[in-house]
Structures are given as C-alpha cells and as structure tokens.
C-alpha cells in the first residue's frame, strides 16, 4: 500500500487568510548609407517590439478593433474569430522579470505577440461567458439533463454552526492522490484532524471498479488499525466526479473525468460500491454522506465564514458549487428542506461543450483529441492543472516547427503528449534569474534540449507562453465565478471558498483571478472574496457527515 504522508492539525472557527558601465561604438562605420538605413530600421523595429512587449507584460493595453497577429496563421486566427483578442490583462508579471537589460529580438517579440493574440481572453469574451453561463445554469436547474452543466442537487441543506461534536471519518478521492482523514469536533467551533495520504496508480484509475474500491477499503482499514479505532464512525466520502445524487448518502456516477476510467462504476451507486468493499474487508464503517469536493470545500469554509456562498476547486480538475434557493430550482421534487436552501453542484467543467462562447484554439482541439474523454469537459480543460501544461507544450511545438523557437529543434521527449507538466510551468514562471537559467536548465534536464539551442529569446518565449496560458485560465474561471455570484445576487459580498494546487501554489494565479473579477465588476466595493479552504475536501466531507446526523 503506497501511503505517502501523515499529517495532524488543529483549528478553530476563527477566519484566517492565507500568504553598469557601458561602451558606445559607431555601429555604422564603413557601411553605405543604404546599409545604415536598413540596419537602423531593424533596430527601430526591435525597440518597437520591445516596447509593445513591456506594455502587454506589465499593463493591460486598451481595446483594439484592428486584426491581431495570428499564431502561425492558425491558432491566432481561430481565436480571433472567437473574439479572443487581448483587450484586458495580458499576463501580469513581476516588474523585475526582464529588468536585467534583456531585450527580446524583433523575431521573438513577433512570436510572443502572436501567442498573446490567441490567448488574451478579452473582456468582451469574458462577459459573453458570464451571460451564457447564467443561461445554462437556469436550464440545468429547470430539468434533469436540461444543460451540459448538470446542476446536481447535493441534498446538503444544513450549514455548520460550530456546535457539531464527535469523531467523523472522511475519504477524499478526486485526483492522483487519495486521503483518509479523522476529524474531531468539540462542539465549540474547534476541530482537530489527522490524515494519511495514498498514491493512486494509473492501473487503479483505469482498471476495474472493484480494485479501486478495494484499495480504498484497505486504506481505511490500515488507517483505523494504526490509531486503534474500533468503534463504528460516520463517514463522509468526497467523490469528486459527476454524480446524480439520490440522497445525502447515495448517488450514481454519471461519468468519469480527470483521467479516471475504472470499469463497472459509471451508472452505479458509489455509496453502495464503497459499502460492499468495506463488507468484503470486514470494516465497520457507516457511509453517512457522499460529497463532491466542491461541496466539501464550501462547507469547510462555512464553519468560519457565514458569507461563504460558493465553493471552487482549481487543481487537477475544476468545479464549482453554490447555495441556491429551492424556489429557484424547478426540477426540485418533494418537500423543501427547513432552511429553504440547498447546495448545487454545478459540474461546470462541461460548460459550453458546444464551443459557442469559449476562446477555443487549435491547441485546445489537439489537446482534447488526445484526452481520455474527448469532446467533454472542455471548460475544465481550459482552466485546470491537468491540461495547462499540454496546451503550453502544443503552442511551443507549433512555434518550434515554424522555426521561431529552439532554432526549429525539438526532441522526441518534447513531442510526447502530456510531457510538459503544469508544475513545470509553475517553475518557469517562478524563474527570476538574470538570464532565466532555471528555465534553460529545466528544458535541458526534462527534455534533453541542447543547451546551445536554448537561447535567451527561447526562454523568454517559453516563459511568456506559460504566463499567457495560465492567465487565460484564471480569467475564464473568474468569468464563471462572476456568473454564479450574479445569478444569486451576491456580487457585493460573497466569499468563495477555494481549494486546489493551481489556486494555492501557481505563481500569480490568485492575483490574476481577482484582477479579472474586478475588471468584470467595476465600481463594486466589497465584491467577491476568494479565501482558501484548507483541506476542504477532507474536513468538509467529515463536517457533512456530522450534519447528516441531524438533517
């Protein structure tokens, strides 16, 4: 069993927020006047390109109606057709990134400008996403399968008050790791948690459902035995995939996402499958709740923040949930909960699978074609960590094949699908060395690119690609959040609980997200606040298990 880490933490319901000298020579001595003029034109062009570069790198340019440069005549043209020109933020960068006298050549600046054109995500595009998403939300709430976004009723209607008391288990399945967690609540807003993390292999993610759930059961068994726990505890199961929830503790998997494809699970009640695995192992555990990770993230933050109306995951995958009035859910059947509200799991990764609003590029299309769920979850694929590295790689490959990057040289490793990870993007964006030497070393180490083929221009281009792809992701995600807050009339005072490594660890991602929200909601003072929900999918699931005892 591949257990990797153990952690213990204690917290309260108090709200917290994360955290030269120069030599001058006559360059034109001995040349004809025509040659001098030609050389001067090149210099002027390079300086002009550099000024444009710095302008789009540190301060958003004004909207432009003129056609943008295209990326090798394909991606940029396609994006421009979708209104993807850069009128809002180009990727924000630290002012010191290129403050060491490094000026990109005219050719490099031209290549960068073409990528900026394709990946700008203009304010007009974002507003279109806001309006379209609100329409799709209403369709999904009106009837089952009324929209690509499922708008699933979670059956979680109570929110934590801090008075919950007892010991509760949580299981967290939704990415490349799986966790078992024990949460102890003292009834006064204080909680203590301890957890173990286990690595999921590709074989488990794509093998049989029975093998996957047996692994989960074995993990729980080992967790309980290592702590001498013998009593039966309520368990909240964070199952971060589209589930048609039938009750608080049962629901059928609609389809796998995020690279999972275990057989025999789609269409089945995952609560029953988990209970059957426990029975096979003789484990006394009561599955009290099935919880999507977004719901768990929101619930965990609600313990500290009564204005938390939205939960957001920005990590390997992405999804959002929010608190909705039951009267705004035409597809609701049966008596309304006492609170009159319920959390809706949007499954927003499926938004605009028809590609009517998203600034889709040929790189997105190529990435999707090679994915395990082709044609699905297109919104998620544009904003989540599992896919951003591959999109960046495809942009770089196109530039290299056109001779604009690495002097046209590419190794077989760089051509491998998914070889360029989002974690590498993060490392590159964090590179503030004088000559971007960390970027050079990464490209040489991970892909075998010859050092003499990785020029300073190449490093600038690669870094800018990473900035633009990640900034597009942040801006599109921000449009989605504004749509949700607008739908429930909470744009003036709304906390969004956020979990996921993309938001928490990727350089400048949080800043780019909040900047785009401010751009979409000008003049609103309090606006929307993004607050980290530490361990929302673990702590939150255990809290839902506690709430289920009284719901």
Q: Tell me the per-residue pLDDT of 363-390, one tens digit each, with 9 for 90 and over.
A: 999 999 999 889 999 999 999 999 999 9
Kindly list the strands in the beta sheet with 233-239, ordered across the sheet, starting from the edge strand earlier in the chain: 3-11, 191-199, 177-186, 165-173, 233-239, 285-291
pLDDT for 72: 46
Give yes or no for residue 246 having a pLDDT over 90.
no
Name the CA dihedral angle for 129, 513, 119, 99, rounded to a multiple of 10 degrees.
Answer: 160
pLDDT exceeding 90 applies to what percent of the chain? 66
The stretch 131-138 carries a mean pLDDT of 97
Sorted by where each starts, the structural domains of the chain and their CATH numbers stand as 154-306+533-547 (3.30.420.40)
Mean of pLDDT values over 394-420? 97
**Catalytic residue annotation:** 258, 293
pLDDT score, position 101: 62
Of 99-113, 232-246, 376-390, the range with the highest mean pLDDT is 376-390
3-state SS, 64-79, equals: CCCCCCCCCCCHHHHH
Which residue, 170, 241, 175, is CA-closest to 540?
Answer: 170
pLDDT at 9: 54
Supply the pTM of this predicted model.
0.78
Phi, psi dihedrals of residue 122, rounded to the nearest 5°: -65, 165
14: pLDDT strictly greater than 70: no
- 537 pLDDT band, cuts 50/70/90, is confident
- How far does Cα 262 stand from its chain's mean position? 23
Look at residue 43 in the predicted model and tell me its pLDDT. 38
The mean predicted confidence, pLDDT, of the chain is 84
pLDDT at 47 over 70: no
Q: How many CA atoms lie within 13 A of 211 on its CB side?
A: 13
- Contacts for 365 with CB less than 8 Å, ≥ 6 apart: none
Q: Reduced to 3 states, what is the DSSP secondary structure of residue 341?
A: strand
As a whole number of angstroms, the distance between CA 136 and CA 351 comes to: 8
Per-residue pLDDT reduced to its tens digit, 50-87: 443 443 343 333 333 333 334 644 333 333 334 443 33
Tens-digit pLDDT profile for residues 417-475: 999 999 999 999 999 999 999 999 999 999 999 999 999 999 999 999 999 999 999 99
The predicted structure's pLDDT at residue 549:
83
Spatial CA neighbour of 344 closest among 295, 302, 307, 379: 295
Helix (H) or strand (E) holding 136: helix 123-142
Q: Dihedrals φ, ψ of 459, to 5°? A: -65, -40
pLDDT per position as a tens digit, 260-313: 999 999 999 999 999 999 999 999 898 999 998 899 999 999 988 889 999 999
Q: Which of 13-17, 182-186, 486-490 has the lowest mean pLDDT?
A: 13-17
- The predicted structure's pLDDT at residue 334: 87
């Amino acid at each position: 069993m591949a257990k990797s880490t153990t952690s213990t933490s204690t917290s309260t319901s108090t709200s917290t927020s994360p955290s030269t000298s120069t030599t001058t020579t006559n360059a034109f001595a001995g040349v004809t006047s025509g040659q001098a003029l030609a050389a001067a034109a090149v210099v002027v062009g390079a300086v002009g390109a550099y000024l444009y570069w710095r302008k789009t790198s540190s301060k958003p340019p004004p909207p432009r109606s003129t056609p943008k440069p295209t990326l090798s005549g394909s991606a940029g043209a396609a994006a421009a057709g979708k209104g993807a020109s850069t009128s809002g933020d180009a990727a924000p960068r630290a002012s010191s990134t290129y403050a060491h006298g490094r000026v990109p050549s005219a050719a490099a600046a031209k290549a960068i400008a073409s990528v900026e054109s394709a990946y700008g995500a203009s304010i007009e595009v974002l507003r279109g996403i806001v309006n379209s998403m609100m329409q799709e939300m209403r369709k999904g709430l009106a009837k089952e399968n009324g929209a690509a976004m499922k708008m699933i009723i979670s059956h979680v209607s109570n929110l934590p008050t801090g008075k919950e008391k007892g010991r509760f288990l949580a299981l967290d399945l939704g990415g490349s790791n799986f966790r078992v967690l024990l949460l102890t609540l003292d009834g006064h807003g204080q909680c203590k948690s301890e957890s173990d993390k286990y690595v999921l292999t590709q074989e488990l993610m794509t093998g049989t459902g029975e093998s996957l759930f047996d692994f989960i059961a074995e993990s729980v068994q080992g967790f309980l035995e290592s702590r001498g726990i013998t009593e039966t505890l309520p368990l909240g199961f964070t199952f971060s995939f589209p589930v048609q929830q039938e009750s608080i503790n049962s629901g059928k998997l609609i389809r796998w996402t995020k690279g999972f494809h275990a057989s025999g699970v789609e269409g089945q009640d995952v609560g029953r499958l988990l209970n059957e695995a426990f029975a096979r192992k003789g484990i006394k555990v009561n599955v009290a709740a099935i919880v999507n990770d977004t719901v768990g993230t929101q619930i965990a933050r609600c313990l500290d923040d009564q204005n938390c109306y939205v939960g957001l995951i920005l990590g390997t995958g992405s999804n959002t949930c929010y608190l909705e009035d039951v009267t705004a859910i035409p597809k609701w059947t049966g008596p309304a909960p006492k609170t009159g509200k319920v959390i809706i799991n949007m499954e927003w990764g499926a938004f605009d699978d028809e590609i009517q609003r998203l600034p889709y590029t040929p790189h997105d299309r190529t990435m999707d074609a090679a994915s395990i769920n082709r044609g699905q979850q297109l919104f998620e694929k544009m904003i989540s960590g599992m896919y951003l590295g591959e999109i960046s790689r495809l942009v770089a490959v196109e530039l290299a094949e056109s001779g604009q990057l690495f002097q046209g040289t590419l190794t077989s490793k760089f051509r491998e699908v998914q070889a360029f990870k989002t974690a590498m993007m993060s490392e590159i964006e964090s590179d503030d060395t004088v000559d971007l030497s960390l970027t050079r070393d990464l490209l040489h180490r991970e892909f075998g690119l010859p050092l003499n083929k990785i020029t300073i221009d190449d490093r600038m281009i690669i870094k800018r690609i990473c900035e633009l792809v990640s900034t597009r992701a942040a801006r599109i995600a921000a449009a989605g959040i504004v749509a949700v807050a607008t739908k429930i009339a909470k744009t003036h005072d709304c906390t969004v609980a956020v979990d996921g490594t993309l938001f928490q660890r990727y350089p400048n991602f949080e800043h780019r997200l909040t900047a785009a929200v401010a751009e979409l909601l000008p003049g609103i003072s309090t606006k929307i606040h993004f607050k980290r929900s530490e361990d929302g999918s673990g702590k939150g699931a255990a809290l839902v298990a506690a709430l289920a005892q009284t719901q």
